[in-house]
Chains A and B, each alone.
Chain A
Amino acid sequence: GAVVSQHPSWVICKSGTSVKIECRSLDFQATTMFWYRQFPKQSLMLMATSNEGSKATYEQGVEKDKFLINHASLTLSTLTVTSAHPEDSSFYICSAQSPTGGGEQYFGPGTRLTVT
């Protein structure tokens, strides 16, 4: 199956700093990638849709100035959490949409962010 990587797998940062998370589709080109947030024992919450070469589309209630998304190539999307606060601590997961088949999404392994 298709492989999607995320980097880093976990990160600890101080309050007020910014953190960048990378999402790469390793063996296919993805015009569309998605960023999710998952709280413990809960389902995934879609944060934004990342389209290559255009601005991301954010879900209602997600601050676009806080969660900066850049999709500069067909294999890379980045999420930058700016001025992080402890409440931003979470598990962030990206996915890349297959350009063929049933539009299925392939997920990265996730990034655990802890803000101290």
Chain B
Amino acid sequence: GEDVEQSLFLSVREGDSSVINCTYTDSSSTYLYWYKQEPGAGLQLLTYIFSNMDMKQDQRLTVLLNKKDKHLSLRIADTQTGDSAIYFCAASSGNTGKLIFGQGTTLQVKP
């Protein structure tokens, strides 16, 4: 079945850029998503990209998609301490509406 993989941990200094990477296996995934989860809370949709796009930018967030390699990345510019959280990559699964989530990447931002 579909699988989504992420690295588990990333540590950066405040003000630096953060890049979180994700790979997926289902080439038919139409949409790919990035969610943020803070401790004890639900998931907040940050952004999503349609599979026929290479890049999407939204303020400090840039999503890059390499469909050939099935690789997705999320770049956070000027990372702040408030960006510390777990970031989940998710891929849509066929026409079911289901999302397949990665394991989540814990982003630690040091002052």
Contacts and interface: CB of A to CB of B under 8 A. Distances in A.
Contacts of B45: 1, 104-107
Nearest to A95: B43
B103 A46 contact: no
Contacts of B99: 34, 46, 105
Interface string A34-49: 1000000011101001
A4 B103 CA distance: 23
Interface residues of A, number: 23
Contacts, number: 56
Interface of B: 30-31, 33, 35, 40-45, 48, 50, 88, 92, 96-99, 101-104
Given A105-B33, A109-B41, 5 more contacts: A49-B97, A95-B43, A107-B35, A107-B43, A108-B42
A32 B99 CA distance: 13
- Name the residue in A1, A104, A110 with the highest tally of chain B Cβ atoms < 10 Å from its Cβ: A104
A112 B89 CA distance: 23
25 contacts: A1-B45, A4-B42, A6-B42, A34-B97, A42-B104, A43-B102, A43-B103, A44-B43, A44-B88, A44-B101, A46-B98, A95-B43, A102-B30, A102-B33, A103-B31, A103-B97, A104-B31, A104-B45, A104-B48, A105-B33, A105-B99, A107-B35, A108-B42, A109-B41, A109-B42
A77 interface: no
Interface of A: 1, 4, 6, 32, 34, 42-44, 46, 49, 93, 95, 97, 102-110, 112
